[in-house]
Amino acid sequence: MEIERRILIVDDEPPIREMVAFALERAGFRVEEAQDAGEALAAVTDAPPDLILLDWMLPDTSGVDLARRLKRDELLATVPIIMLTARSEEQDKILGLEVGADDYVTKPFSPRELVARINAVLRRARPEGEAHEILEAEGLRLDPVSHRVTVDGQPVALGPKEYRLLHFFMSHPERVFSRGQILDRVWGRNVYVEERTVDVHIRRLRKALEGHRCDRLIQTVRGAGYRFSTQEQP
């Protein structure tokens, strides 16, 4: 089972977006579109894509400025960016790469070349298999492809939010996250809910793990937040 990679196309020209979207969907990608920087920011803060195709010239700002802004954001800095532009001068390419773009495609371009460039950037950004890596800790096993959680082979029933919480924690072991950071990473930054919502879902997650004696892995760090750890809590 292959998980679709999500690509965000940011371009103010509908024919370009349509042509690129058609090529990417045929290549097996899931495509989202934005016609300006405002729409792009709303899309990426809600759910970061796997890669952004970013036009150099946008109606409300430049693609370079938007790329610079995205790379300054801790939660979005790792999202790869490919600049799309009619500019072919070397200094423009250098500027795009200096602000954090991972590649640079000059218009007009071949859709096949673009797909190849996207696949190459995704391989560099996330080595093959890493996105689907099974996470394990002391008998607790999370398979992101099948969305199954087990402890010593016994299934653990989790709700969608509890599953995402556990996946987030197991992907970032031994790190303390505040409630606000957890909300940003698991709920998304365009979702406005109380920080105490995190506590409710943490309790549900612990309850589900309690019968398997794994609830102790979700630790409360007083005054700071929560962490996932296999070490005994001091």
Residues 125-150 pLDDT 10s: 664 444 568 899 999 999 887 778 99
One domain for residues 66 and 21? yes
Tell me which amino acid residue 109 is. Answer: F
Q: Is 115 helix (H, G, I), strand (E, B) or coil?
A: helix
Dihedral angle, C-alpha 151, 152, 154, 158, nearest 10 °? 10
Domain CATH number, residue 207:
1.10.10.10
Domain CATH number, residue 29:
3.40.50.2300
Domain count, the chain: 2
Please report which confidence band the pLDDT of residue 2 belongs to, taking 50, 70 and 90 as the band edges.
very low
The answer to whether 84 and 227 are in contact (CB under 8 A) is no
Please report which confidence band the pLDDT of residue 177 belongs to, taking 50, 70 and 90 as the band edges.
very high
Asked if the structure places residue 211 within a domain, the reply is yes
Tell me which amino acid residue 2 is. Answer: E
Asked if the structure places residue 233 within a domain, the reply is no
Residues 6+ apart with CB under 8 A from 46: 188, 189, 190, 191
Nearest to 3 by CA among 159, 143, 184, 113: 143
Q: What is the model's pLDDT at position 84?
A: 87
Distance CA 184, CA 26 (A): 32
- In angstroms, how far is the first alpha carbon of the chain from the final one? 41
One domain for residues 102 and 15? yes
- Is 166 a residue whose pLDDT tops 90? yes
Q: For the CA atoms of the chain, what is the radius of gyration?
A: 20
Asked if the structure places residue 130 within a domain, the reply is no
Nearest to 117 by CA among 105, 101, 125: 105
Please report which confidence band the pLDDT of residue 122 belongs to, taking 50, 70 and 90 as the band edges.
confident
One domain for residues 78 and 53? yes
One domain for residues 165 and 185? yes
Distance CA 138, CA 140 (A): 6
Alpha helices (H) along the chain:
14-26, 37-46, 63-72, 90-98, 111-125, 160-171, 179-182, 196-210
- Residue 163, token pair as written in the block: 């599953």
Nearest to 81 by CA among 26, 89, 65, 91: 65
- Residue 84, token pair as written in the block: 């799309």
Q: Which range marks the domain in which residue 75 is found?
A: 6-125
- Residue 215, token pair as written in the block: 């609830």
- Is 45 a residue whose pLDDT tops 80? no
Taking only the tens place, the pLDDT of each residue in 83-118 is 888 766 666 667 767 777 888 888 888 888 899 989
- Choosing from 125, 160, 191, the residue where a domain stops is 125
- Choosing from 103, 125, 147, the residue where a domain stops is 125
One domain for residues 16 and 119? yes
